[in-house]
Structure 1
Amino acid sequence: MDVLSKESDMLLLLEKLVNIDSGSKNKAGVNKVGQELIPYFQDLGYVIEVIPQEEVGNHLIIRHPKQRHASILIVGHMDTVFEEGTVTKRPFTIKDRRAYGPGVIDMKASLVSVIYALRYLKECGSTAYQHVQVIFNSDEEIGSLTSRRIIEREAKGKSYALVMEPARRDGSLVTERRGSGRFTIEVHGKAAHSGIEPEKGRSAIEELAHKIVKLHELNDHEHGISVNVGIIEGGNAVNTVSAIAIGHLDVRVATMEQAEEMEHKIEEMCAKSDVSGTEIELTGDMSRPPMVKNEKIEKLFNVVKKVGAELGMEIKDTKTGGGSDASFTSAMGIPTIDGLGPIGGNAHSEKEYLDIPSLTERTLLLAKVIEKLVKDKEKKLA
């Protein structure tokens, strides 16, 4: 099988997947994506375990029966950030060697890429595809709240983790990510008429405003710390002292030490009110650890870089502030590479696109990386 000749088939499958609304809260839509994928893996001889979920789509664990202990874990996600009805407004389209549509690059093209990489290996007579275990989860875009424990459980004992987030616009892979956390600050005060008896009120909005200023003072962009209250809610009338106010906080860090420090500072800050008579309820945590580029990741990247060179590709790496499931496997000490999907850009927006030539090129790269890693491991065991 020549991957480069399969572009049309791959695009047909991609069109089918993109034209399914599968936002993280759209359980039926995400499950439909999974149902479309399952037969492809069954045709390759894999066994699929469906992990049912109550509120989000079901997760898929895909194994080959000839390998009880696969050495490579591939992780991807089936959910997108788009609301139901987006596909009707802007379905899959192709223009000037780019494909467009909701989730086309983040990360439905990657789902197609995984299938065709494994198919390539099988049809070429390589048994390397049998040494791979795949997890496709359904809630990555909302923090992998139900799938994190599954990823961490299945990652134990693996030699490598290959995460299928899209490559950057310039084709770079991701070897470093900032950790992230989400917090909600809910302030309760006391309502009062702001014209008749304002002195009897205790403004929740005023208290939240004090906290927002203090939280934003924690920013240290030079050292990779970003703190942002991105959404605020509160009050019910302009002439009423607010009885409730809510702030939603996003935190990004570069190291585990910073993650622990930020959690402590935020908890300490919210333990005491600035406005007398108000009370604060803090929820949330640092949910994704940072992916720190260490010696193991560097070594794995060099393997990918070498394979790319043999295919005529110059492979570079980069770091990013966005989160992904790569953070979980790398925090476990497993050599992890992210951004192994095709190349595209403008993810999470109406202009999201896939560079079509990269669909087959990066699929071939993935297949050859899998083959190389399996061969190297077999040599060590020989």
Structure 2
Amino acid sequence: MNVQQKENEMLNLLEKLVNIDSGSHDKEGVDQIGKELTPYFIQIGYDLEMKEQKDVGNHLVYRFGSTHASIIIVAHMDTVFEKGTSAKRPFSIEGRRAYGPGVIDMKASLVSVIYALSYLKESGSSAYEHVQILLTSDEEIGSPTSRSLIEKEAKGKRYALVMEPARRDGSVVTGRRGNGRYVIEVHGRAAHSGIEPEKGRSAIEELAHKIVKLHDLNDHERGISVNVGIIAGGNAVNTISDTAIGHIDVRVATIEQAKEMELKIEQLCATSDVQGTNIELTGDMSRPPMVKNKQINELYRVVKKVGAELGLSIKDTKTGGGSDASFTAAMGIPTIDGLGPIGGYAHSEKEYLDVDSLTERTLLLAKIIEKLAKPNENTKKEVS
């Protein structure tokens, strides 16, 4: 099998996937993505175990018989786009770039996984038999139902390969900041702002105090960022608000910082600045940071070496965005992220795939799997 000769096939499958809306809360759409993909994995020789979900798409686990997998590939089927987006701007190709909702994050990666495994099988390598694939449905909303599954299925694996797209310069990802999401809900007392304002207790005023204090927790030099990105409150301009809500995004560079920020946010919201208001805080540090430790660095060296053998110069980078790679890395499993094709502007109308990278990164993935599934003595020493 020549991967380059499969480009049209791969693009046809990608077009089909991109033109299916699969936002995180669109269970029907995400499940349809799974139905499109499953026959390909079954044809390669994998068995499907479906993890049914009520409110989000079903998670899919593919295993090769009773073979004990040493490698887990993690990818997600959901996107950030609303239902109807694909009808407004369906899959298209202009020059050597492909466009459409989710084209790079991460439907191109789903195609890449299938064709990398197919390549291994058709080329006579048994490496694909040592791979387990986990496709999740809620990564874009923080993996609330899939985190425990990822951790369960990753347990005992030697390596984790996560299929978020490569960066625009082709870099893979070896470090990510941890991510937390919180909601602060303030309850006050409504009153007419002209007739009896003294009887009111403004929830908006209390939230404003908390926003200032939360933003004071920013320490960008240490890699800590706190942002109240969405607020809502009140129902009339002449009424003192009795409710207000703020949505908080937190990013940290280390496990220690995650614990530190959890404590500080809880302490900050434990008392009110405006007498007579009450605060309810929900949420947590949902994703730990992915720290580039010795094991991750050694796995990156293997990836870089495989790339060099294919004539590719593979660089690595750190990013502030969240990913399921954080879960496997926190378990101590050597993890590389950003192994998908190259593209940019994910989550926007300008999202694109570098078409040339689709086959290029598919072959790279296949060769990485082959190297890791049957490591020689040098590889064992490199990743240990």
TM range (shorter): over 0.9
Matching of residues 137-216 of structure 1 within 5 Å? 137-216=136-215
Q: Does 1:59 align with 2:59?
A: yes
- Corresponding position of 2:236: 237
- Corresponding position of 2:9: 9
Give, in angstroms, the shift of residue 5 of structure 1: 1.0
Q: Return the TM-score normalized by structure 2.
A: 0.98
| 3-state SS, counterpart of residue 292 of structure 1 | coil
| 3-state SS, counterpart of residue 329 of structure 1 | helix
- Corresponding position of 1:306: 305
- Corresponding position of 2:258: 259
Cα deviations by residue, 1:343-375 (Å, 9 ceiling, x for unpaired): 000000001000000000000000000000112
Residue segments in structure 1 that go unaligned for 5+ positions in a row? none
- Corresponding position of 1:103: 102
Note if contact 1:185-1:282 (Cα within 8 Å) is conserved in structure 2. yes
Note if contact 1:66-1:130 (Cα within 8 Å) is conserved in structure 2. no
Matching of residues 39-50 of structure 1 within 5 Å? 39-50=39-50
| 3-state SS, counterpart of residue 60 of structure 2 | strand
Identical aligned pairs, as a percentage? 76
Name the Cα RMSD after superposition. 1.1
Q: 2:202, 2:146 → 1: CA distance? A: 39
Q: 1:33, 1:371 → 2: CA distance? A: 27
- Corresponding position of 1:375: 374
Distance 1:276 1:304, change over 3 A: same
Give, in angstroms, the shift of residue 380 of structure 1: 5.8
Distance 1:377 1:191, change over 3 A: farther
| 3-state SS, counterpart of residue 231 of structure 2 | strand
Q: 1:50, 1:365 → 2: CA distance? A: 28
Matched residues, number:
380
Matching of residues 302-381 of structure 1 within 5 Å? 302-376=301-375
Q: Does 1:34 align with 2:34?
A: yes
Query: Partner letter of residue 301 of structure 1?
Result: Y
Q: 2:196, 2:357 → 1: CA distance? A: 66
| 3-state SS, counterpart of residue 374 of structure 2 | helix
Q: 1:276, 1:144 → 2: CA distance? A: 37
| 3-state SS, counterpart of residue 375 of structure 2 | helix
Distance 1:83 1:295, change over 3 A: same
Would you identify which runs of 4 or more consecutive aligned residues in structure 1 move more than 6 Å?
none
Query: Partner letter of residue 169 of structure 2?
Result: D
Give, in angstroms, the shift of residue 293 of structure 1: 0.2
Q: 1:377, 1:239 → 2: CA distance? A: 74
Residue segments in structure 2 that go unaligned for 5+ positions in a row? none
Q: 2:210, 2:188 → 1: CA distance? A: 14
